[in-house]
Chains A and B, each alone.
Chain A
């Protein structure tokens, strides 16, 4: 089966610019997650969707980050405006649903560098 797809793989921008990342989860997976992984740290959950509704966005810096999952499939994560500390790998993951036992499947990530 096809895995989680993400694009772009790499992005370099200057601070105060905007950037958007795209994620296509595994077909049929209802739950979608966005994580931020700063160098030397583990992934940190930013937002969790169940179909097209937000389940948890408690760690999303809402003053600059936004995410949507229209039609309950693809998702976009946007940063506007970017700061230097946003440099990280942004990971998308999906699972069949949000009950335990399903496991999360991760995409390759988008490496963002903010100059």
Chain B
């Protein structure tokens, strides 16, 4: 069955700390991978996406993610978080030829000054 696992449900960091959020997927065939972010009181926004090519993808606000095909993983990273990164982060996977997405359960990130 197609699924997405996000291992960290709640992460608490201090400003300037490094961030890595895990995402693993189970999906037959070629996939597209996404990270969405939901800031408090706002709607879901696309952070970054991978379709093909360089497995290291850079997104907005200094975020990046690395696709490791052998590990079925697409972990999100940021070298130095800010208080404004406090949000919920969702990993999602889609099939190669459609925009249909399956989401993980999300990781709540709290950054303290």
Contact = CB atoms under 8 A, between A and B. Distances in A.
Contacts of A40: 105-106
Interface in B78-94: 90, 92, 94
Chain A interface residue number, banded? 20 to 34
Interface stretch (A10-18, A77-85, A95-103): A95-103
Interface string A88-106: 0001010101111111111
A101 B51 CA distance: 7
B99 A103 contact: yes
Interface centre among B4, B100, B105 (most CB of A within 10 A): B100
Interface of A: 3-4, 31, 40-45, 48, 56, 91, 93, 95, 97-109
* Residues of A contacting B: mostly: loop
Given A40-B105, A98-B99, A100-B32, A108 B43 contact: yes
Interface in B13-38: 32, 34, 36
